[in-house]
Structure 1
Amino acid sequence: MAAVATPARPPLLIAPALPYPPPEVRAAPRDGAGVVLRAVLRGGPLARTALARATGLSPAAVSRHTAELIGLGLLRELPPVAGPPRAGRPQMPVEVDPAHHAACGVHIAVDMMTFTLVDLRGAVLAEERIRHRRSAGDVLGRIRSYLPGFLARRSRHRSVLGLGVVTGGWVDSERGTVVEHSLLGWRNVPVRQVLSAATRLPVHVDGHARALARAELLFGAGSGSAELVQLFVGNVVDAAIATGGGVLRGRSSGAGDIAHLPLGVPGPPCACGRSGCLQATVSEHTLGRRAFAEGLIERPDFALLLERALDGHPAALRMFRERLRMVGRAAALLLDVLNPELLVVAEAAVVHLPDLMADLHEEVAAHSHLCADPEHVVVPTSFGEQVLAVSAGAVVLDAVHRRPMELRTAGSA
């Protein structure tokens, strides 16, 4: 277990603290206000009559919940819809109000941390990146020390609804613990415990694939879908499974671990003792080392390889095409086992070199028995270069949109 020292508590980041418990720590009954808020997020602006039809709630319940959400600064009314006069009260549409609140997030990658603020619609308001030295003590210490200044510079008087911390590897979202992250050398790091005590913010901790799945369901390609698989390919390779509008965690939040999925082709040795595992074959570290060994770049740095590919270097493009074909084999297996409505891919070439999606689709078509239309089922992440920033805020926003009446804003002590 990695030892994590807890320093003296810094001043409050906002006052008062927001007593908004993470979604993993307790189950809640169906929240009518959350149903209304998510319906407006998906289809707004919506009048109350349209909200009643969309949610199945009574007009009285819709009016009550709408008033509550407006009072919390989560919804706002718009002017009446133009049209011919009609009997009764004018139709006043409501929409999600992005002006008052924000979710703060930190994405922990192997060498970098991304600090972000995201509004209620999932739009990135601010993003800053810093390097770290990988140890749990260094990473959590840097979060504690950097966060107050980041919020002071960037929050612009918005109420901060919580802190989302996401990373790769095995993350137990219920306990708020990184169980294992082999590339960072972390085992059983109590992220929520340390940061809740230090920041006095509600802290939501999850794996980045599950966080991205939540973001796609809320704001992205999965909005309105019941079933979705999120595939994340970076230094860490993992997946998330969404069904019934929620994201599967599995026992101890272990669902979605595909790092050691065998590809059935020769590949580099893996830390698990086998060879040809998915992560060992397609990770950014692997590609960077291969490109350096082949003389394409002056040091084993994935970012340099991506620059070469963006410049049109044939050998660099070939490496990304090969990588996407390996990813396509894994995607085909996931499609056949789970048969989701969508499979969303977050991967560097998919974001920066979208023309190479054809290679991914061809490999899926060649290996999947169920997916006859990969061009429609296998889609790129909705968030482009901001994928890490959005993932970090999404775990907070998912909780807010599901149970908004548990929220107390910074001005309502």
Structure 2
Amino acid sequence: MLSLVAPPAFGRAAPPAEGGAAGLVLRAVLAGGPLTRTAVGRAIGLSPAAVSRHTADLIALGLLRELPPQGPPRSGRPQLPLDIDTRGHLAMGVHIGVPWLTFALLDLRGRVVAHERLPRQGDASDVLRVVRAHLPGFVARRSAGRPLLGLGVVTGGWVDSERGTVVEHGPLGWQDVPVRDVLAGATRLPVHLDSHARALAQAELLFGAGHGATELVHLFVGNVVDAAIATSGGVLRGRRSRAGDIGHLPVPGSTEPCPCGRTGCLQASVSERTLARRAHREGLLPAPDFDRLLALAGAGEPAALRLFEERLRLVAPAAELLLNMLNPEVLVVTEAGLAVAPGLAEHLHRRLAEHARPEAARLVTAGSFGVDVLAVAACAGVLDSAYRRPMELRTAPVAAWSGARVAAASTAH
């Protein structure tokens, strides 16, 4: 049997060291590349010798590559542009949702190389057993033998990243599940466990709407509703990684019962399950099925769009509260309707403009990753770690575990 009771934490782990100058070089090329070494030095204030030393290390690791000279030939040694090398390393991830498990591989620019999904069934032990069994075959089928940087595991609710534990996930019924310990033994790779709100905040800072920003708030609206706060370019976690728990904010006028015992909590009022039940009650669906409702909204069905507009109306006060409290450079709202029907963003902005300061409402944008959002979330922690601490990377060839260990993983208990 898998042990699914997490041990108590006695004190806090020391924060990981940042990547120093090598990380600065890598992030500069991500932000502005292709860049010459001279341009990298100007961007981050390093000497030519230091830039050359760090770029040599990053090229050797397969994180950067040199491109052919650009423009007409010049006398002297040519300046070769540097770019992120997306031909090699992959980040692997799993998003554990209420209806689905999403398996993903992303390249170093956060682009989805492959993804698959399976129905999520059973308790925590069942789910982690399925993840362990499916990962080797997924990687063998879809990675083309490229080396893996690590495994990201992302879900909603209260996720304690330091302990590697899902402390509480109400819709799944999970409590104190030591996800990192269970999956690290199956892959022999670093496992980065986080909440999907924080993971997507990291992804938005690296590759999306937060690109170039240091102060960002991310609001995730799904079956779980939570927020993530980025300040000085890093994501705030709070004590035991509980920062951003907004699911029980009161929604005026809502009578939706919440498992906490109250009525009108934000998460209960706007969750995907709640929306699907409303669509069924109104005769829009033969049974509560959020995926079918989302497809109708994407096809422009007016009744489906009205339900998503109502959902955003209920979400808007929470977004306004976050804007007023935190005053970020950008507030990103990840919500499924916005991904399939971009016109809904205008509805959200109108709702915010009714209450928030006009300039604040302009800071709100939809999530950057569309229908790939769960795949990106799954791998974001791995990529964030690579860009912050590139010299600490531990990579493992796919063949080291994906082939011979398939049978062992599929029979693991």
Q: TM-score, normalised by structure 2?
A: 0.91
Aligned partner of residue 273 in structure 1, secondary structure: coil
* Equivalent residue in structure 2 for 1:396, among 373, 378, 382: 382
Aligned partner of residue 354 in structure 1, secondary structure: coil
Partner of residue 372, structure 1? 359
Structure 2's unaligned 5+ residue stretches are: 5-12, 401-413
Q: Cα RMSD (Å) of the superposition? A: 1.7
Q: Does 1:235 align with 2:223?
A: yes
Partner of residue 10, structure 2? none
Give the AA of the match of 1:99: R
Shift of 1:373: 5.2
Partner of residue 115, structure 2? 127
Partner of residue 169, structure 2? 181
Aligned partner of residue 255 in structure 1, secondary structure: coil
Contact 2:270 2:311 in 1 (8 A): yes
Q: Does 1:169 align with 2:163?
A: no
Give the AA of the match of 1:158: R
* Equivalent residue in structure 2 for 1:47, among 36, 41, 60: 36
How far apart, CA to CA, are the structure 2 residues paired with 1:266 and 1:118? 40
Greater displacement, 184-193 / 298-307? 298-307
Paired-residue identity, %: 63
Contact 1:134 1:184 in 2 (8 A): no
How far apart, CA to CA, are the structure 1 residues paired with 2:320 and 2:170? 26
Contact 1:25 1:174 in 2 (8 A): no
Shift of 1:338: 0.6
How far apart, CA to CA, are the structure 2 residues paired with 1:148 and 1:266? 45
Shift of 1:409: 3.3
Contact 2:339 2:371 in 1 (8 A): yes
- 1:409 and 1:30, CA in 2 relative to 1: closer, same or farther beyond 3 A? closer
How far apart, CA to CA, are the structure 2 residues paired with 1:84 and 1:146? 51
Figure out how many residues of one structure are paired with residues of the other and give that number: 390
Q: Does 1:142 align with 2:130?
A: yes
Aligned partner of residue 240 in structure 2, secondary structure: helix
How far apart, CA to CA, are the structure 1 residues paired with 2:255 and 2:167? 27
How far apart, CA to CA, are the structure 1 residues paired with 2:256 and 2:285? 20
Contact 1:162 1:204 in 2 (8 A): yes
Give the AA of the match of 2:266: L
Aligned partner of residue 143 in structure 1, secondary structure: helix
Shift of 1:401: 0.6
Q: TM-score, normalised by structure 1?
A: 0.91
Shift of 1:410: 3.2
Aligned partner of residue 175 in structure 2, secondary structure: strand
Contact 1:132 1:138 in 2 (8 A): no
Give the AA of the match of 2:367: T
Cα displacement string for residues 387-411 of structure 1 (whole angstroms, at most 9, x for unaligned residues): 0000111100000111111114336
Aligned partner of residue 194 in structure 2, secondary structure: strand
Contact 2:97 2:120 in 1 (8 A): no
Cα displacement string for residues 18-77 of structure 1 (whole angstroms, at most 9, x for unaligned residues): xxxxxx864204511111001101100000010001111111111000000000110000
Contact 1:25 1:175 in 2 (8 A): no
Contact 1:234 1:284 in 2 (8 A): yes
Shift of 1:201: 1.3
* Equivalent residue in structure 1 for 2:58, among 53, 56, 69: 69
